[in-house]
Amino acid sequence: MKKFPSFIQIYKKLIQTNSINSININDDSSNKIIIDILANWLYDLNFSVEIQSIPKTNNKFNLLATMGSGPGGLLISGHSDTVNVNTKLWNFDPFQLTIRDNKFYGLGAVDMKGFFACILDLLHDLNLKKNTHPLYILITADEETTMSGAKYFSQFTQIKPKIIFIGEPTSLKPIIGHKGHISKSISVQGKSGHSSDPNNGINSIDIMHLILNSLFQLRDKLKYMLNQKQFQIPYSTMNCGYIHGGKSANIICDFCTLHIDIRLLPNLSIPQFDDLMFNELKTIQNTWGQNIIIKNIHEPIPSYALSQSSDLLYIVEYLSQKKSEFVNYCTEASFMQYVAPTIILGPGSINQAHQPDEYLDMNFIKPTKNIFKKFIQYFCKK
Ligand SMILES: [Zn+2]
């Protein structure tokens, strides 16, 4: 019988396997190789494995590994991709696991290949034959850009686990809510002309000025309505992050574009926000509607929140011995919450994610295995 790899061997192999995900097609890579590696290990651990091709992607796949059948049980989820890397900023080779000063360095070390190494090592240690409820391992694609993997899975899966854990780096604290994310581009098409005659054109900067005034009013309203004190920034935010228009001081500006970023609280839905924005811009639209184009830059990502009255929250806080929190960053919980109640909990700190010399502190390994051992025992054996 072949020997199952050790924690370090698993971790090394995952770090060595490039799974960069980028909106820039030249930097993007298919995640098929890493999915196949993980599928083989899970198969060797007696899981039945299913690899799902995700439509309309650059050759990307999800992996669902299942042990047991029936309703309920536990789903452990994570993403196979990493962000892109600028090797010049690194002191280590991002594609080799380097162990230094009690830390594991490498691209994806904390976000989130270290988590998979912990889970596979744990699954190998445990006797899963006595489980009475199913255990699922889900590995998704494209989390760092479009979240197409989690989105596709949540739309089409038939399984109904009792609870989902996403092993993003939370320093092992249960995270039970985060904001949603919308990016919009607002463009104004005017008409060019000589600057000496303002009536000889339509100045798109003038119209954008009206739009900005209305958006700032909306931004102030967001600040005072529907606060949620669990968040460090307890209101929905709006940032004007990019604006461009015009060619020269002596030409009437014929085109101006603005990009805005909105972070919505869980108690404000995407359609509710769209209505608020529509109302705020209504007067301007009545006059200039023909000239204004509003588009989503990417598909909006819904906010996420676990019901705080949920029994599951009490159980998870008890088993992890940590109080739950809310965070500012976005995760696949936005989509997974539609499959089952979802909690984000994993090893390492989010501060080291997406950074040069990304690392996972070694002190997280044992506690991670311990906590997930308790989760598996609780949710798969009850
Ligand atoms: Zn991540």
Same domain, 149 and 26: yes
Looking at the fold, whether 93 and 206 belong to one and the same domain comes out as no
pLDDT, residue 328, reads: 85
CA 169 to centroid of ligand 1, rounded, Å: 7
Within-domain flag for 222: yes
Angle between helices 270-280 and 204-224 (to 10 degrees): 130
Coil/strand/helix, residue 359: strand
Residue 312 lies in a domain: yes
The domain boundary residue, chosen from 270, 296, 322: 296
pLDDT reported for residue 281 = 97
Are 174 and 319 contained in the same domain? yes
- Contacts of residue 143, Cβ cutoff 8 Å, sequence gap at least 6: 21, 79, 81, 149, 150, 331, 332
- At 308 the pLDDT is 74
CATH number for the domain that contains residue 197: 3.30.70.360
* Distance in Å, CA 355 to ligand 1 centroid: 12
Amino acid sitting at position 178: H
What is the whole-number distance in angstroms between the Cα of residue 214 and the centre of ligand 1?
35
Query: Is 149 found in the same domain as 24?
Result: yes
Residues 153 and 22 occupy one common structural domain: yes
Residue 85 domain flag: yes
Is 185 in the same domain as 133? no
Containing domain of residue 223, as a range?
180-296
Q: How many residues does the chain have?
A: 382
Are residues 174 and 185 both part of a single domain?
Answer: no
Whether residues 125 and 25 share a domain: the answer is yes
Nearest 10 degrees: Cα torsion 23, 27, 30, 33: -140
Answer yes or no: is 2 within a domain. Answer: no
Rounded to an integer, what distance in angstroms lies between the CA atom of residue 119 and that of residue 170? 16
In a domain, 11, yes or no: yes
Contact 185, 258 (CB under 8 A): yes
The pLDDT, as a whole number, for residue 24 is: 87
- 168 Cα–ligand 1 center, Å: 5
CA of 194 to the centre of ligand 1 (A): 51
Q: Are residues 205 and 166 in the same domain?
A: no
CATH number at 37 reads 3.40.630.10
How many whole angstroms separate alpha carbon 6 and alpha carbon 64?
Answer: 22
The pair of structure tokens assigned to 310 is 């949920």
- Let me know whether 55 and 97 are in one domain: yes
- Dihedral class, residue 372 (left if φ above 0, else alpha if ψ from -120 to 50, else beta): alpha
Residue listed under structure tokens 């009013």: 217
Question: Are residues 22 and 134 both part of a single domain?
Answer: yes
- For residue 322, is it within any domain? yes
* 115's tokens: 């988590």
pLDDT recorded at residue 382: 67
Q: How far is the CA of 162 from the centre of ligand 1 (A)?
A: 23
Pairing of strands 255-264, 292-296: unpaired
- Per the structure, the count of domains in the chain is 2
* 3-state SS assignment for residue 63: strand
User: Where is the domain boundary, 296, 328, 350?
Assistant: 296
Q: Which two tokens stand for residue 24?
A: 């820039």
211 burial via Cβ count (<10 Å: 0-12, 13-18, 19+): buried
Given 296, 326, 353, the domain boundary residue is 296
DSSP 353: T
The answer to the question of residue 170 being in a domain is yes
Q: How far is the CA of 329 from the centre of ligand 1 (A)?
A: 10
Identify the H or E element spanning 185: strand 180-189
Does the annotation count 81 as an active-site position?
Answer: yes
Q: In angstroms, rounded to a whole number, what is the distance separating the alpha carbons of residues 256 and 205?
A: 6
pLDDT averages per 10-residue partition of the chain, 382 residues: 91 97 91 98 97 95 96 97 95 97 98 98 94 97 94 96 97 96 96 94 98 98 91 94 96 97 94 96 97 94 88 94 92 96 97 95 98 97 78
Cis peptide before 112 (omega within 30 of 0): yes
Question: Coil, strand, or helix at residue 234?
Answer: coil
Contacts of 51 (CB under 8 A, 6+ apart): 35, 36, 39, 61, 62, 63
> What is the rounded radius of gyration, in angstroms, for the C-alpha atoms of the chain?
24
| Helix/strand/coil for 305 | strand
In a domain, 154, yes or no: yes
* pLDDT of res. 310: 80
Residues 231 and 265 in one domain: yes
Catalytic residue among 111, 121, 143, 144: 143
